[in-house]
A and B are shown apart, each in its own frame.
Chain A
Amino acid sequence: MAKRMRLEDLMMQLAHQPTKFILRIGDQEEGFKWLTAMLNSDGRQGNVAFGMQCDGTIVGVGSRNPDEILQALRNQVQSTINPPLSCAFKTADCEGKTDVVVSARRPLHVPLYEYDRRAHVRKGTSYRTLAMVEKIALARVRPPLGIAGGRIFFLIVILLCLLGSSGLALYVLLTMSAPPNPPAVSWIPGPPLNAWWLLAVAGGMLGGCARGLWFLTLDIYGFEHRRRTGRSSAWLKQIYK
């Protein structure tokens, strides 16, 4: 289902993102080569506007039913772009003419997209086809980009650190709230009851651990969501707003 937008909103959106304007809907091959070239560049995102000029003038995608055109574009994406690309389709109408904008974003775990088994990359105002050696080099370099090495190790270290700190704080709070004589476990040294500062430090540490665990969970969820889908989590955006 394509999203229908006002022309002004669409132009505003395209003004801030790399966009290729293709006048004729028949130039789909050129349009999707451009799309993959934009996705394969470091910006990782791109739009192709069919039936539109760069000043916002709508030429239109012809007299065919827009739904048929969208279906044809979807089929073209599915059959020619590898690995499978998830695109967003938007349409805008002006004076009875319709244009179609195809938008996509390259997730971090995808090194590059190929159109008809050839990979292209944007170079200024044009694009060029990558040689096999360049494709292999990109595939080697890109997967670690944006992903920390040894992340599972560091995740375990942080979790141990936060959970250990929480345990320590809870231990201090519980031993201080327990009656001093006789101690519950004889070999555990109990802090003096009047050490208010120790209670304050333990309380603050517990609060800090809760905050750390909460934000660690949110940040990891946000990163994984973006890595897998290529889009930011709407739920997380609401929370961080």
Chain B
Amino acid sequence: MGDDFDPMFVWYLYATKPLTGAVFGFLFGLLQRLGLVPFLAHTAESERVGGVVVVAALAGLLSETVNEKLYTAFSGPAKQ
């Protein structure tokens, strides 16, 4: 965001970050449960639950980066 622009004009975008984080957390938690994200996948159930939380939290933290990567993966590289 340019620093000429008051971030309060788009205050609602910050409020949506927990929601996008929750969506990405759910998706990556599901992938971890299905064994597609190998982080702590082959461990005891109690540790595996911890793995779900860690993977989901990282997905939420990096949600916009993940979103961009997924968009590029499905739509191809951006045209110049």
User: A residues near B, CB below 8 A?
Assistant: 108, 146-148, 150-151, 154-155, 157-158, 161-162, 165-166, 169, 173, 196-197, 199-212, 215-216, 219-220, 222-223, 225-226, 232-233, 236
Knowing A162-B14, A216-B14, the reply to whether A200 touches B3 (Cβ < 8 A) is no
**A40–B9 CA distance with the chains assembled, in angstroms:** 24
B residues in contact with A225, CB < 8 Å: 3
Q: Are B3 and A208 in contact (CB under 8 A)?
A: no
Q: Are A212 and B14 in contact (CB under 8 A)?
A: yes
Q: Are A200 and B30 in contact (CB under 8 A)?
A: yes
Given contacts A212-B17, A219-B1, 15 further A-B contacts (CB under 8 A): A147-B6, A154-B8, A158-B14, A161-B14, A169-B18, A200-B25, A200-B53, A201-B22, A201-B56, A202-B25, A203-B52, A204-B63, A205-B18, A211-B61, A226-B3
Shortest beta-carbon distance, B56 to chain A, in Å? 3
Provide the main secondary structure of the chain A interface.
helix
A residues in contact with B60, CB < 8 Å: 203-211
Sorted from nearest, which 5 A-B pairs have the closest CB atoms? Answer: A204-B25, A208-B21, A200-B29, A207-B60, A203-B56
**A150–B11 CA distance with the chains assembled, in angstroms:** 11
Indicate whether B40 reaches chain A with its CB closer than 8 angstroms. no
Which one of B4, B8, B30, B61 contacts A207 once the chains associate, using CB atoms below 8 Å?
A: B61
Q: Are A199 and B49 in contact (CB under 8 A)?
A: yes
**A161–B58 CA distance with the chains assembled, in angstroms:** 20
**A150–B18 CA distance with the chains assembled, in angstroms:** 23
A residues in contact with B4, CB < 8 Å: 108, 146, 223, 226
A residues in contact with B5, CB < 8 Å: 146, 223
A residues in contact with B56, CB < 8 Å: 199-204, 207
Shortest beta-carbon distance, A223 to chain B, in Å? 5
Shortest beta-carbon distance, B23 to chain A, in Å? 7
User: B residues near A, CB below 8 A?
Assistant: 1, 3-9, 11, 14-15, 17-26, 28-30, 32-33, 49, 52-64
Which one of B32, B33, B63 contacts A208 once the chains associate, using CB atoms below 8 Å?
A: B63
Shortest beta-carbon distance, A176 to chain B, in Å? 8
Chain A's closest residue to B9 (CB) is A148
Q: Are B24 and A204 in contact (CB under 8 A)?
A: yes
**A147–B11 CA distance with the chains assembled, in angstroms:** 12
Q: Are B8 and A151 in contact (CB under 8 A)?
A: yes
Which one of B6, B14, B15, B23 contacts A215 once the chains associate, using CB atoms below 8 Å?
A: B14
A residues in contact with B54, CB < 8 Å: 203
**A108–B6 CA distance with the chains assembled, in angstroms:** 10
